[in-house]
A and B are shown apart, each in its own frame.
Chain A
């Protein structure tokens, strides 16, 4: 009886798994992402003023500041900035001309970073949240040597303007703004610093108040109110307050976008232009693009956008009398477009990216300096989707009257960030994956048909099954010609040792599953786990308004189908291979019984309590006591196969696992006493199977939990107390039917029971705590097809930007405490308990990679038992394959087929050669003795 358990036991003995050097970089993949770059915080900049090479700097929507090499799109450095947690979601990134630092502003922190390597130079905290950060470019005749100073405008209760020394971060002067006006933006000309404030009138309109400051002393030189009359209803209608140009401007429109008003900051005159309508659609957005350079020509471009088209107008400012006049306009083009401004010496160039064209004009005249047609951006979109540019930044070099080289990075509507060099896509970065909120694995539909057919044959009656099988073989015969054509290629591939997962089209191991990622922007992106470098498809599945967030859940109910469902909404199904939406009933037949008619217990978290319904009427309820809040709830996974119902001990006796598919681990926190409670619940009856409480917990630190098979794990950070040590703890609890070997507890071996009728006696729980060197922010567990392979606990380590796979045997709660393991225990793979769990470097699945900002890890079984697929997301995206008990059912990469066949061939030849010799010898021998 124990014989079937033996292989399982030997698997458990397998030592700690490691990432092998020939698998590293091969089976794993990693996208070091920044998140969608923001238009106003992205630019080309030279990190070393003496060299011509420039990098692309961006501060993204995920608050990641980084530099990207424009040559290949690789990340040079990156820093995750804390946003301070407030909803005030503005961030700034500035680089002074010829400076080797970039200055960022986020939350209430201004920081300077070395442009070449991303090291922090200095940082300053302001009292209130930052409203704007600018770099002072003073043209006092001589180009200042050394770092340029920054000016910061902060809001809050005491709004003020501060000048921060560029070299040391010391505050040179500060000017407190009086009055109740909200600070809006900063603007600096070569001689003055302007703080622009928003003044609310009694009638509900807003007016702009401008305070001019002396940049050297910080004293107020002038203050005035712009007479914007009644057209400025909200601050949203202010298009731009240009900074750091020879003549900074403020521009705004009325709510209906019929007139454009421009004011040169420092003067009180306002120029008014009426906006022409180009088509029947109303203008949705007006953007202003002006050069960010103090020596550039005072020209700017106004970009108008309707739902279907866009166009632009270029204006010149006469510096002598501060008059603004229209110079020329760029024609209307269908679709969305992006404009970018680049400067070379004093000249200003505008680059326009449309759906199918890239063109550059000089700000002085409308003649095209260069024009390239774009065939494609080289990214995957949805079916029939037109990919459009959202915003762009460019670097232009002009020789004579033509553009000699142009590099443009464009953020596309798909969320990809693309670099175009002379109109050709050089690289793409899938930045939309940085905002992934939900992920599921799906098998491609064609891979599973055979398995389904075999299942039909296994469960039908013999005659029908035989007919079915013959029919299947006949249909298979039709594939024979194509198979024969491919045969030589396959044989050659086999000889050359290219392993099976490289061969396109065949996936007998199930490594090439489709990973569907739902992003916060409402798109569904599919990756191939075997070839993650290209996106399979990327489509918009929602109709989100700006600022609306999307919390979908993804699942693969059936092979080849991805189901997207939002909160309380019914799911929408998509074909996993090409992203086509499946119309309700066509190819998808619900093969599982309709849940609404079957008697099921469902439970959900309502408010701060768990409520279950049975047969649609309320069933059990778990309400935490007063002051206790639910942290999280992890049920045992629905698809969690377990191969062995017991644990084989060293003396061949068995400890029976408490296997119940309806158990869940609930974690609650009591803030007043800083306690954390953990409950194992039966989700059918609501009974508590096990509970414990930990005092003195740091409740601000993450408390991840996981439940699988018959065990649960959680981690927390504990404060020092008489009972326990300060530090990060990992607790493992394992549930058994009985702690006596070969004994099945009160329920015996009864095959059927109901927890409602005969509540089984509580499981016996063994727990153990290990102290960890660093905190864990998320726990996950590997999953394999049959559950024969031993499991690995996957832990995200945010402090070292890593993902580790801890073998279960290392944290087994049955490790003997205070004594060495006996022979039987050693045979089981148990070793003496050690209070500190040192994370073995071999467990780090990311090896040399730095996996930043992981929020969630999902796992899926491959088709072969040994392997589990892992996909981690958050900011970065990281995926790998894991074989917790080694790849016992597949040949490794180091297996040399050619060598093996050559050996067989050599042996065959040797046999042929030697056979006559041996025959003759045997015959000779017979003659000699008889």
Chain B
């Protein structure tokens, strides 16, 4: 009996542990100038469904003839997914941010990129050399806002409304007050 309890507690603990330390995924995000034959690793990022960190960041070497750079990654199947951005966004003084778009299974399906001029306003914990990362989870689609359902009793009947109070029950204090006033007035007259 006691052994069972211990085992069950242990199992529960393990389960919660595995939930907390969800499998970490690693993805190599590549920067690929338009004229280059293949992309070079821009950043190595580890992520799970809730958080992501930049493990390493390499400043890309962009030929001066290129004004556009592709940023993307390879799917496990080997196909490429990526976006295009201007080469000037990789200037060292700019603050850069990678967006990882995750689908409802926590799987990466697309990347995004943002660069801004002004310093390090973005959260610093997951940042390396001016490169930060943010997870964008796909939103659940909107659902109709339904009206409130009718709550039924245990036997399936619609609960009957509370019977309304009668006139006397509602306003007895007015009548009582009036009567007291009358009594007081009449007693005053009598004196």
Contact = CB atoms under 8 A, between A and B. Distances in A.
Nearest to B109: A625
A674 interface: no
Contact of A818 (B101, B103, B139, B145): B145
B84 A686 contact: yes
B84 A759 contact: no
A626 interface: yes
Contacts of A10: none
A731 B145 contact: no
B105 to A, nearest CB: 8
A691 B136 CA distance: 10
A621 to B, nearest CB: 5
B97 to A, nearest CB: 10
Contacts of B86: 754, 756-757
Interface stretch (B41-49, B50-58, B67-75): B67-75
Contacts of B144: 724-725, 729, 769-771, 835-836
B101 A692 contact: no
B84 A614 contact: yes
Interface in B88-115: 88-89, 101, 103-104, 107, 109-110, 112-115
A705 to B, nearest CB: 13
A619 B146 CA distance: 44
B60 interface: no
A623 B112 contact: no
Interface stretch (A64-72, A249-257, A317-325, A677-685): A677-685
Interface residues of B, number: 40
A767 interface: yes
B103 A677 contact: yes
Nearest to B104: A693
A678 B89 CA distance: 29
B76 to A, nearest CB: 7
B180 interface: no
Contacts of A625: 75, 103, 107, 109
A692 B110 contact: no
A814 B115 CA distance: 32
Contacts of B101: 688, 691
A769 B140 contact: no
Nearest to A815: B145
B30 to A, nearest CB: 12
A624 interface: yes
A687 interface: yes
A49 interface: no
A723 interface: yes
Contact of B114 (A614, A623, A693, A759): A759
B89 A691 contact: no
Contacts of A691: 101, 136, 138-139
A623 B88 contact: no
| Contact residues of A: prevailing secondary structure | strand
Contact of B72 (A614, A621, A758, A833): A621
B142 A731 contact: yes
B141 A731 contact: yes
Given A619-B34, A754-B86, A767 B76 contact: no
A693 B138 contact: yes
A503 interface: no
Interface in A747-770: 754, 756-759, 767-770
Interface in B131-186: 136, 138-147
Given A692-B140, A693-B139, A619 B70 contact: yes
A680 to B, nearest CB: 12
B14 interface: no
Contacts of B70: 618-621
Given A614-B68, A693-B138, A725-B146, A684 B103 contact: no
A692 B138 contact: yes
A468 interface: no
B81 interface: yes
Contacts of B114: 759
A621 B34 contact: no
Most chain B beta-carbon contacts within 10 A, residue among A691, A731, A833: A691
Nearest to A756: B86
Nearest to B139: A692
A609 B79 contact: yes
A624 B84 contact: no
A490 interface: no
Contacts of B81: 609, 621-623
Nearest to A730: B144
Interface in A609-640: 609, 612, 614-615, 617-626
A675 interface: yes
B142 A686 contact: no
B50 to A, nearest CB: 18
Contacts of A684: 84
A300 B28 CA distance: 77
A817 interface: yes
B42 to A, nearest CB: 15
Contacts of A615: 34, 68
Nearest to B32: A618
A614 B69 CA distance: 11
Contact of A612 (B76, B84, B107): B84
A620 B85 CA distance: 9
23 contacts: A612-B84, A614-B34, A614-B84, A617-B35, A619-B34, A619-B68, A619-B70, A621-B81, A621-B82, A623-B81, A624-B109, A625-B103, A626-B75, A626-B76, A684-B84, A686-B84, A687-B112, A758-B116, A759-B115, A767-B141, A770-B144, A835-B147, A836-B144
Given A619-B70, A695-B104, 11 more contacts: A620-B72, A626-B75, A686-B82, A688-B112, A691-B139, A724-B144, A729-B144, A756-B84, A757-B88, A758-B115, A835-B145
The 7 closest A-B pairs by CB, nearest first: A694-B141, A686-B83, A835-B144, A724-B143, A767-B142, A756-B86, A692-B141
